[in-house]
A = this chain, B = another copy of it.
Amino acid sequence: MATIRETENAYFKYVKKIMDFNEATALAAWDMRTGSPKKGAGQRAEVIGTLSGEIFNLSTSEDMKHFIDTLSDPGIQSDLSEKTIKSVEESKREYERNVKIPAEEYKEYVILQSKAETVWEDAKAKSDFKMLEPYLDKIVDFKHLFVDYWGHDGNKYNTLLDLYEPGMTVDVIDRVFGQLRDGIIPLVQEVAEAADQPETNFLYKPFPKGQQRAFSIHILKEMGYDFSAGRLDETAHPFQISLNPGDVRVTTHYDEFDFRTAVFGTIHEGGHALYEQNISKDLIGTPLCSGTSMGVHESQSLFFENFVGRNKAFWEQYYDVLKEHAGGQFEHVSVEGYYRAINVAGPSLIRIEADEMTYPLHIIVRYEIEKALFNGDIKVKDLPGVWNEKMEQYLGIKPDHDREGVLQDIHWSGGDFGYFPSYALGYLYAAQFKHTLLKDLPDFDDNLRSGRIRPIREWLTDKIHQYGKLKKPMDILLDVTGEELNAKYLINYLNEKYRDVYHLSRVK
């Protein structure tokens, strides 16, 4: 009979193997996206399939069940470290998610999902929702079925939210998204009508790729991104991927006629990377060694992209460096003019091109649609109509084609219902974190103005990064800010900022 300590050690040895396979899979994925030769792609996909299959087998094995059962025994919890308890919880979450769906059904779903993504590309190109509809119908049916297998507490949609944002519920989101929507819509209106619109022509002048790269590297270093534990590559779509805390990679995309793509993309991914690089080394090899949720992850990227990267004080320090890297495009532009230009905002159709003021509205549209879909209030066939209606209602504009409307994102074709809200939740977390941070570091802007980003990064590491998945999203929020999620911090931030950018009166 093994002692508790022996079982605990055996469990960690077992999950370390899973994490090693995870790292190998992540590397294969990174490699495919950064430059692996296309003729090897078919075989590479099989390698990823083999590794994923192995991870699935290990995560759902009888051995795993035994570890979970033994180490979840309430009688021994007091003998276990917090790391063990939380790791086992995470393994159990994973185990149950995987074993509750019959293998055959899951396989059928994976095949459908992959087909739907291909059909989506085609449907989007042709702006033809009808092509995708039967596939989406089946995907939604499967998701309903999975929710039944997994079980649900209250609203069915809660189970989907929980996949990306553990513990998040419709009740909370309804409350904060409602607050947010009502707070933003009038601001969007005012900004659109503002007399003094920023001059932006100079943004679209040529800025050589090599120079953009050099500036991106400079800014990443200033943010505290550790290049001896990471690297910056170029891809069509920027991303961050963590192999382990000593190897956290970012990519960016260079548009030679709009440097903002690379600069703000790099800062955004750099924010994600700072989270992963600063997780406690003690968690390496456990299921806790990554960001705690999609939303908290996004809070870190948006914190840096918006509160640091689109901050006037930040550019008072770095605008000269940017000028040194660029050609003459900024020659006759003051830092104030530059600051206003990079913060130009207004209603637009495409989520990924939206500014920070209107972005949450794009998410709210998607959230309300997903929730209605999983509560039986609408059908898949209703999606284009409902989409256009809500865009009109919240943003005042309506797409002429579904390509620029309901077909713009791949998420639903991939079955990722419940994912979209985390983008806006991340933004709300970020604003709430920043509000607390200002109490500890009231000279936030002064720090940026003199290039001292370190104390800010250290505060985030101390409060958030280091814990990985040791703390759930809601626990982090409560521990750091002392209160539940509250949209007022983001609303206040947006009001303050955009009144400044658009020269509107301070108080409406």
Contact = CB atoms under 8 A, between A and B. Distances in A.
Interface of A: 16-17, 20-21, 23-24, 27-28, 31, 35-44, 46-47, 49-51, 54, 226-231, 243-244, 246-247, 249, 284-285
Q: Main SS of the interface on chain A? A: helix
How many copies of this protein are present in the complex?
A: 2
A243 B44 contact: yes
A229 B46 CA distance: 16
A231 B20 contact: no
B21 A50 contact: yes
27 contacts: A17-B50, A23-B43, A23-B47, A24-B24, A24-B27, A24-B28, A27-B27, A27-B28, A31-B31, A35-B231, A37-B228, A37-B230, A37-B246, A37-B247, A37-B249, A39-B229, A39-B246, A40-B229, A40-B244, A40-B246, A40-B247, A41-B246, A42-B246, A43-B244, A43-B284, A43-B285, A44-B243
A68 B140 CA distance: 47
Contacts of A227: 37
Contacts of A41: 246
A349 B36 CA distance: 39
A17 B47 CA distance: 8
Contacts of A24: 24, 27-28, 47, 51
Given A243-B44, A244-B40, A247-B39, A50 B229 contact: no
A47 B227 CA distance: 21
Contacts of A247: 36-37, 39-40, 43-44
A497 to B, nearest CB: 35
A51 B46 CA distance: 16
A105 to B, nearest CB: 23
